[in-house]
Amino acid sequence: MRTKRFLVFAAAVTLTAACGGDAGTEPDSGASDAAVVSMPGFSFVPFITAVKAGGSVNFDFPAEPHNVIFERTPGAPADIQRTSNRVVTRTFAVAGNFPYDCTLHPGMSGVVQVR
């Protein structure tokens, strides 16, 4: 499953880079101080969420229980255990890519890019 997630992530990053800014100028990173990830059905939306270092992501849990389990990467925040009907915030202190999965629903994955 990790290989499939990496391939999807790599394709998304390539597509994002291909849609970048004008030649000769530095493209906007698209990163903000805060972002929201929702869970309609059995997917994380958006799949890739970009925040600045020190920024936060609000995970908006619906009635259907989900969890957010981060890949063991230096700087990754604490996992979010099974929860529903609430918003849980995680802060990302350092730059990097932080993949995560809902282990309750196979194939439900996402990535936080911290710039």
pLDDT in the model for residue 61: 98
Average pLDDT, the chain: 83
pLDDT in the model for residue 30: 75
Which candidate, 70, 71, 66, 72, places its Cα nearest to that of 104? 66
Signed CA dihedral, 48, 98, 114, 91: sign only: positive
pLDDT in the model for residue 34: 97
pLDDT in the model for residue 93: 97
Question: Where do the domains of the chain lie, and which CATH numbers do they carry?
Answer: 29-114 (2.60.40.420)
Q: Which residue ranges of the chain lie beneath pLDDT 50?
A: 1, 3-28
